[in-house]
Structure formats: C-alpha cells, structure tokens
Chains A and B, each alone.
Chain A
Amino acid sequence: MRFIYKLPLRFRSLFRKTRVEQELSEELRFHLEKLIEENVAKGLAAEEARYTALRELGGMEQIKEECRDMRRVNYIENFIQDLRYGLRMLVRNPGFTAVAVVTLGLGIGVNTTIFSFVEGFLLRQPPVKDPARVMMLCSVDPKGDFMPDKAPVSAPDFLEWRSETNSYSGMAAAAFDSFTLSGSVAPERVPAGQVSADYFRVLGVAPLRGRDFAPDEDQLGHAKVVLISENLWQQRFGSDPRTIGQTLKIDGEDYTVIGVVPSRFRIWIFPAQLWIPLDFKPGQLGSEGRKDHFLNVFARLKAGVSQVQAHAELATIAQRLAAQYPESNKGWGANVVALEKYMADMSNTRPAVSVLMAAVIFVLLIACSNLANLLLARNTSRQREFAIRAALGAGRLRLARQLLSECMLLSLAGAGLGLAISVVSLDLLRTQLNWNEFAFLLAQEVHIDKSVLLFTLAVSVLAALTFGLAPALQISRSGPAAGLKENSRTTSAGHEHRRMQNFLVVGELALSLILLVGASLFVRSFIDELRVPPGFNPDHLLTASVSLSGTRYKDPARRAAFVQNMLRELESSPEVQSAALTRHLPFQFPWSISFAVEGQPGVAPKEQPSAGHFLISPNYFHTTQIPLLEGREFTQSDHAGSPPVVIVNEAFARKYFPKENPLGRHIKISRGQQTAPWSEIVGVTANIKEFSGQTAPRPHLFEPLLQEPSETVKIIVRTRGDPTAFSESLRRAVFTVDKDQAITLFRTMNKVIQDSAQGDDIMAELMATFAGLALLIATVGVYGLLAYLVGRRTQEFGVRMALGAPRSEIVRLVMRGTTFLIVIGAGIGFLVSLALPRLFAASFTGFHVSSAAILIGAPAIVVLVAMVACYIPARRASKVDPMVALRYE
C-alpha cells in the first residue's frame, strides 16, 4: 500500500526537482527561524542568536545533501549529471578524445572484422540441426599419408556399420562429384551429391518445397529422382514452382525433380547443387567393393550416447570386419569425428587461424595499452580536481562513478566507430573472396557476428574501466590532502603511475615490433612466391574445363576423337595462335603415377618411384611455351594404335637418368595391369612450378591424351588478342564439336596461377594491415602520451630555461627517459620475434623466407618511428618562451 505514497514522491523528485529543492530549503529555513527565536528568547542578541542557531543546526548544505540522498532518485540524477559533465570534459580536450576514440575504434573494428571473417569463413557451424550431435564416421587408413584417420568409407563397410551399430538415430552416406546437367537447360557441370535416402533427415534439413527422398528410393532400380538446391532453382529455373515434377538430364540420364533444398544448407567442404539417391551397384557391394573407399558417412548420435562411446563401438566393429575380411579390411580402423572438427581439419586452416587470432589479440592489447596510457596521463592531472571534490565531501564512490561515466562515454564512442569500421571492412573483404567458387559461396556467409560484437564491447568497456578508474583509487589511498598539494609547480605524476605508463609503453612497442616482423615475413614470403617465374608464359592463355563423361564417352576412342576434333576446330579459328588439351593445367596438382625404369632392378609395385602424371595433346608445349629441351612433342601420329611414348621433365631426367640422355630409353607405367608395355622417352622439357611456394621441382612425365584419353580435359588456348574475349568463341567451338557438352570454368592462366595461391594473398594483406595498424596505434600512443607528459612539465622546462638551460638540453632531457624505454621495448620485441621464422616454417608448408633483413629492418623502423614520435613534442617544448612556460598552469 505504501507505493501510493512512494510513487508520486519519486516522480516529483525526478521531474519536479527545483520544486522539491525549494521545499527543502523552506523547511529547513523554518526550523532555523524557530531556533533563532528560541535563542532570542534565551536572551541572546539577534546577530548572535543567528550564529548560534546556525552552529547548532550544523551544516545546512550537508543536511540538505543527506535529505537528497534519502530521496533515492539520487542515483539517476547523479548519473545524468555525471554523463553531462563527462561529455563536457571530453569535448574540452578534443585531441585526447579523438586519439582515444580512434584507437579504441580501430582496435574494436579490426577485431570484429577479423573474428567475423574467421568465424563466417573458417569456423562456421555446420548448417544442420543440432550440429554438436552430427558426426562423420571415417575409416582409418593404415597406410594413407593425407589425413589417414579421416579416410572415406567403402559401401559394404557402410552398410554393415549401419546395421550393426546402436549409437545413432540415423546414418547416411554421401559421395560428391560433378555431374553434367542438361536437358531443358544449357549443359553445365554442377557439383552434386549422391546420397542415402535419409541423408537430409539425418542432418535435420527439410526441403523448402516438394518432398524429401522416400526411404526406399536409394534402392537399385527405383525411379530416378533429384533434389535441387534453392540456388540452382533460382538461377536456372527462375524459382518457377513448376520445376518440381520436371525432368532433368543428369549425365545423360533422366531424373525427375521432386523438391528444393533451402540455400542455407551448405556444407562447404562438400558443395552440391543437386542430390540424387545413392544406389549401390552390385560391383560396389562385393569384396572388390570393400576396397573402394569413396563414401562420406554422416551420422547423428542418439540421445544420451557420447562421442566416446560411439567411437568405441565403431572401432570394435571395424576390428571384427578386419578379421572377417582380411584381404580388404586388414589394418583398417574406424573413427568418429564431430562434423565441425572434420570440416575445420579438412580445410587445413588451423595455423592460419591461429596466426590471425594472435595478431588480433596483439592489436587489441596495443590499443588497450594506448587507451590506458592516455587515461592515466590525463587523470593524473586531474588529481587536484578530485582532491577538491573529495574535500568537499564527495565519497570515493561518487568520484569513481563520475570517472566511470566518462570512460563509458569513451568506450561507447569507440565501440560505435569500431562497429562502423567493421561493417565497411567486412564488405571490402567479401569482395576479395573470389579465388574459387567455394570461396565465393562462403563470402555470402560472412557477416558481423553478434557474439564478436559483444566480446569487443566487453573488452573496450573493461579496458576503459580498468584504467579510467585508477585515479579514483589513487585518491582514496593517499587522501585528499596529497592531491591538493599536487599541481604543476611540483614534480609531475605519482611514481606508481609512472611505472605503469613506462610498462605500457614498453609493452606496446614490443608487441608492435613482433607484429611487424610476423607480417613482414608473410608479405615477403608471398612476394617471393610471386617472383619465381612459373617456367612458362602465362599471358594470353585462356583455359576451360570439359568433362567427357556419361554413356557417350565410355569408349576411349570416342574421347580421343573428341580431342582430335576439338584441336582441329580450334586451330581453324583465326584468333587462336595455338591450342592444346590436357588433363591438368600447369599450377594444378597433378596426380601421381608409379613406373619402372628400364634397366633398373624391378621392385614391388608399392616401392616403385612415382612422378607427377600429365596427359597432354599434341601442341601442348608449343601452346604453353614450356621450353622443350630435347626431342620432340607428341603428334597426331602418337595415337592409340602406335607405340606408347612419354615425355619427361628435366627433374625426372636428372633423377632417373643422371648421366645419360634419356631420349630413346624406356619406362613402364604401372596401371594395375599385369603386362604393361614399355614406353619410349621421346622428349625432355623444362621444369615448371606446380604451386606458388614450390622450391624444388618434382619429376613429371607426360603421356599423349590420344593414347590415354582422360574423362576430364582442360582446353588451353593461346589467343592473339585478349584471352577473356575469346570465351564465347571457345564455347561455340566446343558446341560445334559436341552440342551436348558442358564447358565450365573459363579462366585465364594468370587467374589460375592467382587462384592457386588459395588465399595466401589475403593472408599477406591481412597481416600487412595488422602490422601497419599496430605500428600506427603504437606510434600515436607514444606520441600522444609523450606530448601530454611534456605538456605537464612545461613549467619545469620554463624554470630550467630561465635558469639558463639551452633548448637542446630540454630536448635531451625529454628524449633521455623515453629513449631508454623505446630501446627496451624494441629489445624485448626483437628477442621474441627471433622465434617467428622457425615457428612459421613449421606451421605453414612452403614457407621459406630469409629473415635476416626483416629481423634487422623491423626493429630499426620501430625505434626510428618511436624516436620521431617523442622528438616532436620534445622540440615543441623547447620552443616555448620561458616566460609563457613559467606562467603555465
């Protein structure tokens, strides 16, 4: 019931403040008058009565203050008052405010950007229901060298796992590949998945339209149905609802569209635009099938079952299978990996992520130290103000609260700026993600992460709080009297503050040096990569990809015919200088193949040497302008009926025929047949690079496409004019040869090289940005701090100059203390960064950089910049007129 009285009171206190104050004054005045009356009645003179009364009453103001306290809306009032005061203080020192806000903004903005980027790109939670319960079941390959514990699974193994295990509420298998989509649309190669009927159910994804696969639709002989992605639906079918029920040709066979899968379902290591049921052919289920590992198995843990339990169960089953089918399964184990971890490991981005995170933390630390320094420096000068307020009765809490609100204002401003920066830079970054189609898809996923925003906000607030509140604590410890005595005439800053500031300066410089060294290493490595010539002439080269799959090209002769027809068609075009076909482009990793060398003792197939294996058409070396050192190119006469021939590269020749000319010698290529013919070496070519960071060339051997036509070929065309302009003509040329053929991936050779860098350039850019940023913030910090401190000592300098000290003496005075700090900071940074080259080389493949220049140059830069930063204010201090300085307060 009391609130009836309380509410109006609160209301009045808040909004009718003046009125309430007036009433309070009146009330106390009445009391005073009564007191005076009493004194007069006691016999005192009027004046004395008044004084006595006043004395008896005690401090009027204090009583009023206490009454105000009782009103309990004080907190809000005070808060608003603090805010206004804080705002005024900040506006009055625009330099300080600007530096603090910008520092904070940059630190937060960069942080948020990178975190959001990393999160969206690399650490994204898989877009399935309840991702923590979705596992990848993998085989463990006893002899594999690339991720042996995440090997794909064979079909019979999968089926047995599914029937024998109890830990999962659902298990589904998927095989991902590219298929040619044609029929009512122009032919196109799309990534696709062959999946179990309950694939989407296991992952918890419901179709946007239409229906999911029925449970029996992945059995052999069932109707051919397909689910398409929303993306495909929009782009190729214009989101037409009648698409459902239409027939599409996939690799030449008819499939009916039954549904659309929402676009947010995207497992980026297994991209797919359409899904067809996975039906196992009899050959895949037999004992041979057990050796064919091609399935990715997804499973959802049953409620209450842990990953460890599931793993144990699966491992036991794998052991039993190994014993049961020793020929195929011996030594093979099984592994249960969380989908998230699987995706992260597959993308092999851990080292890059760690480095980026470290860089981010460094920048944040530097920004916070800056802020801390600024706050400490500034608040030192406000000691006097605080002392006075404390003497006037402000409690410690009150002072702290006022400082708090100032810091909050700063933090909020900084955070606002940071948010703006991150929005802009994320947009910029997104446009950079274009090195392949995966990256582009991912770019769509990158946006500001709310948790990151909260994190950065928390950090900024914490930083501001910690250092903004320091002076309040200072006051309470030493008491107001000490503060009152403190002013510019005496020596500046308490010792504790000084030590803290020194520590921060040293820290900032060390951190920015480390960052600078790290970034330089990256940038240098990347530049080095680019500088090594690729070994051929990549200009004016257009490439495209064609797939000779499906029923029509089952016969190798048909494929060879395509190659010949294609060459003929292209060479007839006037814009074409020369053309060739190949299975792998330069700057793509070729597959390896084993072989035996004539005249050298035979060895078991597993022990045989291997080399990179290229399949090329005639004219390949002419088109790419890879120098032919000896012998000849392949010609049209090297076809299926003629004697098998190979060409090798220099590295191969040097390794296997070190003292002789390899021309005319023979090697036997192992293709799993019992009797393989010996191929004659007819040519030797120069080495080319396979990837940007390659330091030592690997042996390569080339076989004619006409003798071994592959199912995918790439077309390379050297054009007379601009290669990109030729794309349409190329498409038409392919169409002329085979109108059902899909052609994709038009890229110039230069783009291929660029793309193969796979984001190294972004890494280098990012790191460079970080280093630059760090250096900038640190420099501004040192400068700002010093300028401020020097400003505080202006009077002291005035005295010195008046006493006869020359200007250079002043400069030297200022520099002496800080130079010491700078050297210490640079020294610490230098020592730590000595470890960096080795660390990077261990974490990143192909990272070879000579670091001597960087390790000497970077500290030099940091020291130089810092010295300049403290020289400027020192010089300015020395330029001041001594009289002005003396009067400066």
Chain B
Amino acid sequence: MSKPTDLVQGTLDLLILKTIALEPMHGWGIAQRIRQVSKEVLQVNQGALYPALHRLEQSGWIKAKWGESDHNRRAKYYALTAAGRKYLEQEESNWKRLSTAIGLVLETAE
C-alpha cells in the first residue's frame, strides 16, 4: 500500500471536504477531481480515501446519500453538513496560516 505522495491524514480530510463543498460527489469522483485540479500531482490512494470518507461521515462533517450515477449504477454520494462547512472554513484558514508560515521560514532560512 504505497503512497505516491506523503499526504497527512488531516490534509486529505481538507481536500475531500473542499472538493465536495461545491457539489456532492462519490468516492471515485472525489479522487478524480483532486487529481485533475492538482494537475496530476496529488494521487489519492484508494486505500486511504474510503476509510477517510467513512471517518468523516462518522464524525458528522459529511453526510452520505445513495444516488444514480452514469449508466444507472448506484453510487454513494457525499455532501457537506452545516457543521462540516464550518469545519472546512476553520481548517482552510489554519492551513493558509501554516503554509504561509512555512513559506516564510523557507525563504529567509539560508
């Protein structure tokens, strides 16, 4: 179970939440979207994706609903809950602050 890029669990959560903030998606779709938007850099490991989704669901940040996808197949769609949306905002700002800080250190440290 190798990971192409070393993604911390919390970061994966953030990505997932952000991805489904716009519209509900199923697991496959989420992985695809993340790959696309990150220009093929971030390849989400399926072995990490589904446990993460289930965990988020258990924590109440996202809710699931079964729906129809292409070819009339059933798939499980995930959407943000109100609490999840707030959580996302929080985590997003945290992340921004963190990455800015790291950037500063990297630039000035010679």
Q: Establish whether residues B59 and A6, one from each chain, have CB atoms under 8 Å apart when the complex forms.
A: yes
Q: Establish whether residues A27 and B58, one from each chain, have CB atoms under 8 Å apart when the complex forms.
A: no
Stretch at the interface among A64-72, A650-658, A767-775, A852-860: A64-72
B49: shortest Cβ distance to chain A, in Å?
Answer: 8
Closest B residue to A58 using CB positions: B47
Does B26 make an interface contact (CB < 8 A)?
yes
| Segment 59-83 of A: residues with Cβ below 8 Å from B | 59, 62-63, 66-67, 69-72
Binary contact readout B50-80 vs A (1 if CB under 8 angstroms, 0 otherwise): 1100110111110100100100011110000
Binary contact readout B69-93 vs A (1 if CB under 8 angstroms, 0 otherwise): 1000111100001110000000000
Does B109 make an interface contact (CB < 8 A)?
no
Does B95 make an interface contact (CB < 8 A)?
no
Q: Establish whether residues B51 and A5, one from each chain, have CB atoms under 8 Å apart when the complex forms.
A: no
Does A320 make an interface contact (CB < 8 A)?
no
A672: shortest Cβ distance to chain B, in Å?
Answer: 93
Does A603 make an interface contact (CB < 8 A)?
no
* Residues on the B chain within 8 Å of A4, using CB: 60
Q: Establish whether residues B81 and A58, one from each chain, have CB atoms under 8 Å apart when the complex forms.
A: no
Q: Establish whether residues B60 and A70, one from each chain, have CB atoms under 8 Å apart when the complex forms.
A: no
Bound: A70/B56 CA distance, A: 9
B57: shortest Cβ distance to chain A, in Å?
Answer: 7
Closest A residue to B74 using CB positions: A26
Does B45 make an interface contact (CB < 8 A)?
yes
- The interface centre, meaning the residue of B26, B28, B83 with most chain A CB atoms within 10 A of its CB, is B28
Interface residues on B, range: 20 to 34
Q: Establish whether residues A23 and B76, one from each chain, have CB atoms under 8 Å apart when the complex forms.
A: yes
B6: shortest Cβ distance to chain A, in Å?
Answer: 17
* Contact among A2, A9, A66, A70 with B83 in the assembled complex (CB-CB below 8 Å): A2
Does B37 make an interface contact (CB < 8 A)?
no
Does A3 make an interface contact (CB < 8 A)?
yes
* Residues on the B chain within 8 Å of A23, using CB: 66, 76
* Contact among B46, B57, B63, B81 with A57 in the assembled complex (CB-CB below 8 Å): B46
B86: shortest Cβ distance to chain A, in Å?
Answer: 9
Does A28 make an interface contact (CB < 8 A)?
yes
Q: Establish whether residues A71 and B58, one from each chain, have CB atoms under 8 Å apart when the complex forms.
A: yes
- The interface centre, meaning the residue of A3, A28, A31, A71 with most chain B CB atoms within 10 A of its CB, is A31
B23: shortest Cβ distance to chain A, in Å?
Answer: 18
| Segment 710-764 of A: residues with Cβ below 8 Å from B | none
* Residues on the A chain within 8 Å of B76, using CB: 23, 26-27, 30
* Residues on the B chain within 8 Å of A264, using CB: none
* Residues on the B chain within 8 Å of A66, using CB: 47, 50-51
B101: shortest Cβ distance to chain A, in Å?
Answer: 29
Closest A residue to B81 using CB positions: A5
Does A240 make an interface contact (CB < 8 A)?
no
Does A34 make an interface contact (CB < 8 A)?
yes
A109: shortest Cβ distance to chain B, in Å?
Answer: 46
Does A33 make an interface contact (CB < 8 A)?
yes
Q: Establish whether residues A2 and B60, one from each chain, have CB atoms under 8 Å apart when the complex forms.
A: yes
In the complex where A5-B81, A70-B55 touch, is A63 in contact with B47 (Cβ < 8 A)?
yes
Bound: A1/B82 CA distance, A: 9
Bound: A6/B28 CA distance, A: 24
A58: shortest Cβ distance to chain B, in Å?
Answer: 4
Q: Establish whether residues A72 and B58, one from each chain, have CB atoms under 8 Å apart when the complex forms.
A: yes
* Residues on the A chain within 8 Å of B55, using CB: 70
* Contact among A6, A59, A70 with B54 in the assembled complex (CB-CB below 8 Å): A70
Q: Establish whether residues B54 and A67, one from each chain, have CB atoms under 8 Å apart when the complex forms.
A: yes
In the complex where A63-B50, A67-B50, A70-B55 touch, is A27 in contact with B75 (Cβ < 8 A)?
yes
Binary contact readout A563-599 vs B (1 if CB under 8 angstroms, 0 otherwise): 0000000000000000000000000000000000000
| Segment 69-116 of A: residues with Cβ below 8 Å from B | 69-72
Bound: A69/B46 CA distance, A: 16
* Residues on the A chain within 8 Å of B57, using CB: 5, 9
A301: shortest Cβ distance to chain B, in Å?
Answer: 58
Closest B residue to A2 using CB positions: B60
Q: Establish whether residues B50 and A30, one from each chain, have CB atoms under 8 Å apart when the complex forms.
A: no
Does A56 make an interface contact (CB < 8 A)?
yes
B88: shortest Cβ distance to chain A, in Å?
Answer: 14
In the complex where A2-B81, A33-B73, A58-B1 touch, is A28 in contact with B50 (Cβ < 8 A)?
yes
Q: Establish whether residues B60 and A6, one from each chain, have CB atoms under 8 Å apart when the complex forms.
A: yes
Dominant secondary structure of chain A at its interface with chain B: helix
Closest B residue to A31 using CB positions: B28
A-B contact count (CB 8 A): 74
* Residues on the A chain within 8 Å of B66, using CB: 23
B60: shortest Cβ distance to chain A, in Å?
Answer: 3
Closest A residue to B31 using CB positions: A31
A885: shortest Cβ distance to chain B, in Å?
Answer: 46
Does B27 make an interface contact (CB < 8 A)?
yes
In the complex where A27-B75, A30-B75 touch, is A63 in contact with B46 (Cβ < 8 A)?
yes
* Residues on the A chain within 8 Å of B45, using CB: 58
Bound: A787/B79 CA distance, A: 63
* Residues on the A chain within 8 Å of B58, using CB: 6, 9, 70-72
* Residues on the B chain within 8 Å of A30, using CB: 26-28, 69, 73-76
B52: shortest Cβ distance to chain A, in Å?
Answer: 8
Q: Establish whether residues A27 and B50, one from each chain, have CB atoms under 8 Å apart when the complex forms.
A: yes
Q: Establish whether residues A56 and B50, one from each chain, have CB atoms under 8 Å apart when the complex forms.
A: no
A522: shortest Cβ distance to chain B, in Å?
Answer: 64
B56: shortest Cβ distance to chain A, in Å?
Answer: 9
* Residues on the A chain within 8 Å of B28, using CB: 30-31, 34-35
Q: Establish whether residues A69 and B51, one from each chain, have CB atoms under 8 Å apart when the complex forms.
A: yes
Q: Establish whether residues A71 and B46, one from each chain, have CB atoms under 8 Å apart when the complex forms.
A: no
Bound: A62/B28 CA distance, A: 18
Bound: A57/B58 CA distance, A: 23
B39: shortest Cβ distance to chain A, in Å?
Answer: 18
A20: shortest Cβ distance to chain B, in Å?
Answer: 10
* Contact among B27, B54, B60, B75 with A5 in the assembled complex (CB-CB below 8 Å): B60
| Segment 429-462 of A: residues with Cβ below 8 Å from B | none
Closest A residue to B82 using CB positions: A1
Q: Establish whether residues B83 and A1, one from each chain, have CB atoms under 8 Å apart when the complex forms.
A: yes
Q: Establish whether residues B46 and A31, one from each chain, have CB atoms under 8 Å apart when the complex forms.
A: yes
B83: shortest Cβ distance to chain A, in Å?
Answer: 5
* Contact among B26, B46, B60, B63 with A58 in the assembled complex (CB-CB below 8 Å): B46
Q: Establish whether residues B47 and A57, one from each chain, have CB atoms under 8 Å apart when the complex forms.
A: yes
Binary contact readout A1-44 vs B (1 if CB under 8 angstroms, 0 otherwise): 11111100100000000000001001110110111000000000
B11: shortest Cβ distance to chain A, in Å?
Answer: 18
Bound: A2/B60 CA distance, A: 5
* Residues on the B chain within 8 Å of A34, using CB: 28
Bound: A773/B83 CA distance, A: 65
* Residues on the A chain within 8 Å of B27, using CB: 27, 30-31
Closest B residue to A3 using CB positions: B60
Bound: A27/B65 CA distance, A: 11
B68: shortest Cβ distance to chain A, in Å?
Answer: 11
Q: Establish whether residues A67 and B51, one from each chain, have CB atoms under 8 Å apart when the complex forms.
A: yes
Bound: A643/B1 CA distance, A: 117
Bound: A6/B81 CA distance, A: 12
Closest A residue to B56 using CB positions: A70
B58: shortest Cβ distance to chain A, in Å?
Answer: 6
B109: shortest Cβ distance to chain A, in Å?
Answer: 38
Bound: A5/B45 CA distance, A: 26
Q: Establish whether residues A2 and B61, one from each chain, have CB atoms under 8 Å apart when the complex forms.
A: yes
Bound: A6/B50 CA distance, A: 18
Bound: A41/B58 CA distance, A: 35
Closest A residue to B59 using CB positions: A2
B residues bordering A, Cβ < 8 Å?
A: 1, 26-28, 45-47, 50-51, 54-55, 57-61, 63, 66, 69, 73-76, 81-83
Q: Which 6 A-B pairs have the closest CB atoms?
A: A2-B60, A58-B47, A70-B54, A66-B51, A70-B55, A5-B60
Q: 16 A–B contact pairs at CB < 8 A?
A: A2-B81, A2-B83, A4-B60, A5-B81, A9-B57, A30-B75, A31-B27, A31-B46, A33-B73, A35-B46, A58-B46, A59-B47, A62-B47, A66-B47, A69-B51, A70-B58
Contacts A6-B60, A66-B51 known; list 15 others, CB within 8 Å: A1-B60, A1-B82, A4-B60, A5-B63, A9-B57, A23-B66, A30-B69, A31-B46, A35-B28, A57-B47, A58-B45, A58-B47, A63-B50, A66-B50, A72-B58
